[in-house]
Structure 1
Amino acid sequence: MLSVYLDLGVGLVLSFLLLSLLVSGVNEAVVRLTAVRSKFLWAYLRDTMDGSDDQGKAWLPAKATDVFAALPFKRDPRPEHSDQPAPAEVQAMPTQEGRTDDAMTKLFYERVREIDHPKTGRTSISDIPPGRFAVAMMEMASAEKDGVDGLLAKLKDLKSPLHGHLQGLWDGAQRDMERFRVGVEGWFDTEMQRLSMLYRRYVKWVVAVLGLLVTLLFSMDALEYAKTLLRDNAFRVGVSAVAGGSTEAYGELKEQCTSQQPVTCITETLSSPALVKVFDHAIVSVVIPEEGDPGISWNGAVWWDRLTTLSHWPGYLLTFVGLLFGAPFWWDIFRRLTGIRSRRS
């Protein structure tokens, strides 16, 4: 009896794992297509170095829901890509008269563009190590006449939000360059952690939307699927009993396969397990005939009929909630149930 529930658990976990992997794959494709990671980083850098735009709007959205309207589709905060290495001589910061709304961002990009590669004419840098950020600040300070004091004076003159952060770090380091560099590195690392939290909240919204779409497009009813798994298990027990010579089991099997010969019925059933059947209800399914090449079948009418049947919606809700846990969660459960060991252990 324990094996029945184990088969049921493994089947459900495997289906959730496959659908979660599909959601994760689509999410990664959307993220790469819209370059959201890079836009998150450079929106933060623009807000921190140059402040808001000429209309007084921040580049980085304050709420995760605002990201859908701001970063992927509207203004692009990334600087233009350059295939040239960082110049040997660091340019001095502009004065208030020569300031533009992205002067500091462009100056900083010059110091880190060695790790860049083009993507639609804009930078694709989506991660800057804290140590590299600190070195870039040191290089920019070296171009000023008074070093760090000169850099802070110009930041204050430009009304850059970065001035307050660096001024506090400089005072805390007691004007020691090495302590100041370590402080800048630690501060930027903390800021990247805060930015990652906002990005994760954004990703949760995207995963929730994609999970709902996948659930509905595949019309995946988890309760119905669990029942199908139990039926498959009972069917295989019946086949095993027939193979052992049970005439009673053969009679039950013959009643179940009334439309065709028992041998043909057994072959077709065993070759179409529950995991395969669950994808037969998608709006588009792949048909693999006994002979010939696979084909694509349109199931629009059947799919819509399932979608509008209220009795399936509790199962849809269960599937949707399951997908919210994500592929890593279901892979860990699947690994524990099957005894697969991770390489780390």
Structure 2
Amino acid sequence: MLSVYVDLALGLVVSFLLLSLLVSGINEAFVRVLSIRSKFLWAYLRDTLDGADAKTGSWLPARVTDVFRVLPFLRDPRPRHSDQPAPSEPGSLPGPETKAGDSMIKLLYERVREIDHAKRGRTSISNIPPGRFAVAVMELAATDDGDVERFLARLKEIDSPLYGHLKGIWESAQRDLDRFRQGVEIWFDGEMQRLSMLYRRYVKWVVAVLGVGVTLLFSMDGLEYAKTLLRDNAFRASVTAVAEAGPDAYDELKARCTGGDPVPCVTETLSQPALVKMMGQAMVSLSIPAEGEPSVHWNGGLWWDRISTPSHWPGFLLTYVALLFGAPFWWDVFRRITGIKSRS
């Protein structure tokens, strides 16, 4: 009896794991195609180094709905890609009367573009190590003969939001250059963690939307799937009973496999596990016959009947909630059930 519940648990976990991996894969493809990670980073850097745009406000929207609307499609905060190495001497800060809206971004990109490669004409940099950022700041300060006080004064003149952060770090470092560099590194690392939290919040909403789409696309009723798993287990038990008891136990299989010899029916049923049956009820399904070429089937009518039937909605809700836990969670559950040990 215990094996029945283990089979049920494994079946549910595997199905949720596969669907969660599909959601994660679609999300990762979406992120890579639209360069979301890189846009997040450079939108933050524009706000921190050059300030909000006078016409359109902050480069990094505070609300998730604005992030969906702005960053993927309407605004690209990334600087233009350059295949030139960083110049030996960094450019100087512009005067307050000639300040450009992206002056600090251009200067920073000059210092870090050695790790860049082109992506549709824009930078592909989606992560700047805190140590590299601190070195870039020190290199920019070197344009004022290494006088950090003068460098901070220039930042204040051009009204860069970076001035307030660096001023506090300079004072905390007691005007020691090495401690100042370390302070910049620690501060930038903390800012990247804060940015990662915002990015994860954005990804959660994307996963939530994709979870609805995948659940409805496959019309995956978790409750119905569990019931199908139990029926398959009972059917296998019946087949085993026939093999052990002989012809006298044939009547039950005949009742299920009406109209012919039960042997082909048993073979066909056991070759279609519960997960395959459930996936076959998606909007589009793929069948691989024993002989011949695979074929794709349009199941629009059956799919819509399942979607529009209220009795399936609790099962859809169960599947959707399960997908929100994510693939790492279900992989961990799968390892615990099967006893697979992770590599240390």
Query: Quick check: 1:177 aligned with 2:177?
Result: yes
Q: TM-score, normalised by structure 1?
A: 0.98
Aligned to 1:316: 316
Residue identity opposite 1:40 in structure 2: F
Q: What is the CA RMSD across the aligned residues, in angstroms?
A: 1.0
Deviation for aligned residue 1:98: 2.1
Query: Quick check: 1:40 aligned with 2:3?
Result: no
Query: Bigger CA drift: 174-183 or 144-153?
Result: 144-153
Query: Bigger CA drift: 134-143 or 281-290?
Result: 281-290
Alignment of 1:112-131 (within 5 A): 112-131=112-131
Aligned to 1:61: 61
Alignment of 1:155-304 (within 5 A): 155-304=155-304
Deviation for aligned residue 1:54: 2.4
Cα separation, 2, equivalents of 1:233 and 1:197 = 44
**How many aligned residue pairs are there?**
344
Cα separation, 2, equivalents of 1:95 and 1:72 = 33
Deviation for aligned residue 1:250: 2.0
Deviation for aligned residue 1:192: 0.3
Change (3 A) 1:248 1:161: farther
**Structure 1: any 5+ residue segments left out of the alignment?**
none
Cα separation, 2, equivalents of 1:203 and 1:16 = 19
Deviation for aligned residue 1:246: 4.4
Aligned to 1:9: 9
Query: Bigger CA drift: 137-146 or 39-48?
Result: 137-146
Aligned to 2:325: 325
Residue identity opposite 1:266 in structure 2: V
Residue by residue over 1:127-151, the C-alpha shift from the partner in whole angstroms, topping out at 9 and shown as x without a partner, is 0000000000000000114621121
Cα separation, 2, equivalents of 1:342 and 1:331 = 11
Alignment of 1:102-121 (within 5 A): 102-121=102-121
Cα separation, 1, equivalents of 2:127 and 2:119 = 15
Aligned to 2:87: 87
SS in structure 2 of the partner of residue 332 of structure 1: helix
Deviation for aligned residue 1:251: 1.5
Cα separation, 2, equivalents of 1:61 and 1:194 = 14
Cα separation, 1, equivalents of 2:170 and 2:30 = 41
Residue by residue over 1:232-279, the C-alpha shift from the partner in whole angstroms, topping out at 9 and shown as x without a partner, is 000001111111124453221111111331101110011001011110
Residue identity opposite 1:122 in structure 2: R
SS in structure 2 of the partner of residue 286 of structure 1: strand
Cα separation, 2, equivalents of 1:145 and 1:343 = 51
Q: TM-score, normalised by structure 2?
A: 0.98
Cα separation, 2, equivalents of 1:292 and 1:117 = 46
Identity of aligned residues (%): 68
Aligned to 1:143: 143
